[in-house]
Structure 1
Amino acid sequence: MSLKNIALIFFSACMFSVFGCRKENNDPGNTTADDKIKDSAWSYAKELYLWNKNLPSGFNAGTYADPDAIMKALRPYSIEPGFDDPVDRWSFAIKKNEWNDLSSGISGDFGLGIFFMSENDLRVSYVEPASPAAAAGIERSWRIVSVNNNTTVNTDDATVSRITDAVFNSSAASFTFEKPDGTDVDIALTAKTYQDEPIILDSIYTNGGNKTGYLVYNSFLGDIGSIKSRFGNIFSKFSAAGVTDMVIDLRYNGGGYVELQNELANYLVPAAGNNSIMLEEKFNDNYKALLDTTINYQKKGGLDLSRIFFIITKNTASASELLINSLKPYMDVKLIGRASHGKPVGYFNIGVGDWYIFPVSFRSVNKNGEGNYFNGLQPDAIVDDGLDKPWGDVNENCLASALHYINDGGFSRISPRVQQDIKLEKGNAALDVKRFKGAVEERRSVW
């Protein structure tokens, strides 16, 4: 057992003692089970929340509907030097059975990701391979021209809300798609339970006589052992092919387990970074001596890259950003796309009754102490998401820009817009609201 796990078990025992004793001595006779859960959720948050010094002493957990509402009520107190507004957008709680499905990569919907390419052009951004959408033959780049026989498709708030409900909150819906050849197809979908596939594509391109590896990675959640095995196979293939450059596509990756971030980082870091600091996790003053952690690189695989390209968007969050930040001290990191989400903090699941609570509990920094990118990691080349092209198409905007740089030393497909249209960005943010965004340290064994 690691020293950190021993420390965490000690920490858990202390917390149980503090909260358990207080409950036993002070519970009035009419306190309900729900009240106890709410009070415990607040008690843990007071101790662990990264900005706990800002929390009010008069907070009344009993006035909130459930632990999720309590966690969200913490957010306004996340005052960070250098930022005008509270930075926490992520503290939350979820029923244990729901988290068990989410964290294992089990979904129950159509398996469609959708984003606007322009204010009136809604595209399929990705399709889960085991989902109803995949079984129906739907592919990335198809245009959605009607939803439930309604042909109004635009970024207006009411329209986005209607489409979001139909795609993400319905058990059945009908669509008309325009395929790349210009023909239309009507497809009715019924939601079902399926296993997500976070690794969407891996390819190798011969680029000016050199080999470029390309990996589309959609989530750091799922079966940890299975994903690690897939990484091993993929990077063995890249090494055997003599890959000299890598493009990692994280444009829709909202994060997940830090353990999987560590694994991927170990394949990507140059050999010279072996045994050096990958990242540091820093807790609040109450628990920094007990829980602060330094993670070092343990180099894996045969790649020895001097530079790396990441494709990012506003949907690239948390563990994805952690990966990029962790590699920056060791290699030339190039970012293509749009500014990332901006989540340099993480949490772990704390069991409270039939809930898990996730108060933001630690910040992450790289070897150079760099972090705090609450405004997102900024791209070297602002390039629009090529939603009109399938995965791996060398003419897709972002991949094409990376390949052009590898060949010619400069980016291509630079967007004429310094920032996306406000309505387009707002609409796409609403369409991404269902995807998890987080860097999670798995602690179930001690909580």
Structure 2
Amino acid sequence: MRPTILFAIAIAISAYLPSCKKDNNGGGGSSSDKLKDSTILYARDIYLWYDKIPASFNARSYDDPDAIMEAIRAYSSEPGFTGPVDRWSFAVTQNVWDDLSQGISKDFGLGIFFRTANDLRVSFVEPASPAGKANIKRSWQIKQINNSTNISTSNLDFVRNAIFGANSVTIVFGRDGKADTTVTLNAATYLEQPVILDTVYNTGATKTGYFVFNSFLGDTNAIRNEFARIFNRFNTANVSDVVLDLRYNGGGYVLLQDELANYLAPNAANNQVMEEQKFNNKYTQYNSTTRFKKKGTLNISRIFVIVSQNTASASELLINSLKPFMNVQLVGPTRTHGKPVGYFPIPVMDWYIFPVSFRTVNKNGEGNYFDGFALNHTVADGLDKAWGDTEENCLAAALKYISTGNYARVLEPNSKTDLSTLTISSNDKLGAVRFRGAVGIPKKLNR
């Protein structure tokens, strides 16, 4: 089911951005030039840092709206930060966004990250994808790609292009305790399933719910139903703690973040401020406040969130929204991505443009986390273990704290896991192929 949010935006934007004109003030030019002119005119109006874009900026010198969006990022200055803070403004054709926003992908359905500089692992598999149908599993080691054994961070471009930029690939996988297997994958269209796993563990005298959630994009009704199912399971099991795994979740719809926050927040948060959206000084009439509307009977005072540099935007918004009301413990290999801002799709001819248009803050006015959230406990991603394995590094650390009041050691002696700068940087580039964003709609349009 296509989210109705897109239709609402498409019919509302032209009415609610009155200062934007679509013909470059009556100027001529080709259809391509008019597309570029409209793109920069919208940006000069709604972009959070619109007043920093110089008058000399020549949109027609760029290839397309996406190149223009990338170029305006250079003018996103914020007090306390050196250099531009915007890494996200972008544009895509409407048919591409229609698929992306609904969780429709056309690729192999394979996530990959380096465990060490020379140890590439499957990080996740989409069940309905070619990789899922081939029964490939998280933790499998990638030993060869298209007959090449040069699988290392030093050959990152080859790895990335072969896995994410090709229509076909042949991979030799190593499997713990089993013989290697060779699989040829052909890209195909499939529907993503953001909920990877939910389960309940015994942690001493209590029970802990574990939930792996990979994206806030997709079929919004189906995802809401999954939230209801999962938290009904947690309530029935009488869980006392929750471990929420967002390590690969780059964000998505703010409305789904709101929904999940309402399940996780304690009863005391009901009717309190969840988050505020703040636009530039031309559009302060769209500034809005969202309040908690508690769902379910789960009433916990703390939450453990597994994160990484790929935890971004709507995922970070969830963390920030809960912090004033709960003890939020962050566990993982790196601090989070750092995206306290959002956007919404603006239709321009057959494109949608996404200039960063609003910032978010929590009940305490906290929000400027462009450098991400720091960790309470640093531990490498357990890429050698399956989802839900209680010996997987990140999950094990959280479960140990719940059981004993202390985290596990960061790295055991002679560990083969790696938290080096090079490995983290390479994984950040591999993670960047997935969407990172908070997609909202001005509250006063969503009525």
TM exceeds 0.5? yes
Q: Is 1:426 the equivalent of 2:425?
A: yes
Deviation digits for residues 61-118 of structure 1, max 9, x if unmatched?
A: 1111100011111111111000011100000000100001111000111110000000
Task: For 1:340-351, list aligned pairs within 5 A.
Answer: 340-351=336-347
Question: Which of 99, 110, 113 is the equivalent residue of 1:112?
Answer: 110
Partners in 1 of 2:172 and 2:10 — Cα distance? 52
Task: For 1:45-444, list aligned pairs within 5 A.
Answer: 45-156=43-154, 159-288=155-284, 290-337=285-332, 338-415=334-411, 420-442=419-441
CA-CA distance at 1:415 after TM superposition? 3.8
Tell me if structure 1 keeps the 8 A contact 2:153–2:426: yes
Tell me if structure 2 keeps the 8 A contact 1:109–1:191: yes
CA-CA distance at 1:443 after TM superposition? 7.2
Q: Is 1:32 the equivalent of 2:34?
A: no
Same amino acid, percent of matched pairs:
53
Report SS of the residue matched to 2:17: helix
Partners in 2 of 1:409 and 1:262 — Cα distance? 30
Partners in 1 of 2:263 and 2:350 — Cα distance? 37
What is the identity, as a one-letter code, of the residue corresponding to 1:285? N
Partners in 2 of 1:9 and 1:145 — Cα distance? 50
Report SS of the residue matched to 1:351: strand
The normalised TM-score by structure 2 is: 0.94
Partners in 2 of 1:444 and 1:431 — Cα distance? 34
Tell me if structure 2 keeps the 8 A contact 1:146–1:175: yes
Report SS of the residue matched to 2:384: coil
What is the identity, as a one-letter code, of the residue corresponding to 1:233? R
CA-CA distance at 1:9 after TM superposition? 7.6
Tell me if structure 1 keeps the 8 A contact 2:215–2:251: yes
Partners in 1 of 2:57 and 2:140 — Cα distance? 49
Flag structure 1 segments of 5+ consecutive residues without an equivalent.
none
What is the identity, as a one-letter code, of the residue corresponding to 1:149? N
CA-CA distance at 1:420 after TM superposition? 2.9
The normalised TM-score by structure 1 is: 0.94
Deviation digits for residues 340-370 of structure 1, max 9, x if unmatched?
A: 0000000000000110000001111000000
CA-CA distance at 1:426 after TM superposition? 2.1
CA-CA distance at 1:251 after TM superposition? 0.2
Question: Which of 6, 10, 14 is the equivalent residue of 1:12?
Answer: 14
What is the identity, as a one-letter code, of the residue corresponding to 2:429? A
**Change over 3 Å in CA distance of 1:111–1:445 after alignment to 2:** farther
Partners in 2 of 1:442 and 1:218 — Cα distance? 22
**Change over 3 Å in CA distance of 1:43–1:216 after alignment to 2:** same
Partners in 2 of 1:135 and 1:268 — Cα distance? 33
Partners in 2 of 1:411 and 1:420 — Cα distance? 18
CA-CA distance at 1:308 after TM superposition? 0.4
Deviation digits for residues 159-195 of structure 1, max 9, x if unmatched?
A: 2111111111111110000001152111111111000
Partners in 2 of 1:36 and 1:254 — Cα distance? 32
Partners in 1 of 2:141 and 2:8 — Cα distance? 53
Report SS of the residue matched to 1:183: strand
Partners in 2 of 1:245 and 1:107 — Cα distance? 34
**Change over 3 Å in CA distance of 1:248–1:7 after alignment to 2:** closer
Partners in 2 of 1:225 and 1:165 — Cα distance? 34
Tell me if structure 2 keeps the 8 A contact 1:397–1:413: no
Tell me if structure 2 keeps the 8 A contact 1:96–1:354: yes
CA-CA distance at 1:422 after TM superposition? 2.1
Tell me if structure 1 keeps the 8 A contact 2:43–2:50: yes
Report SS of the residue matched to 1:200: strand
Tell me if structure 1 keeps the 8 A contact 2:251–2:437: yes
Tell me if structure 2 keeps the 8 A contact 1:349–1:443: no
What is the identity, as a one-letter code, of the residue corresponding to 2:266? P
Report SS of the residue matched to 2:369: coil
CA-CA distance at 1:235 after TM superposition? 0.4
My pick for the range that moved more, 10-19 or 46-55, is 10-19
CA-CA distance at 1:18 after TM superposition? 4.8
The CA RMSD measured in Å over matched residues stands at: 2.2
CA-CA distance at 1:13 after TM superposition? 2.1
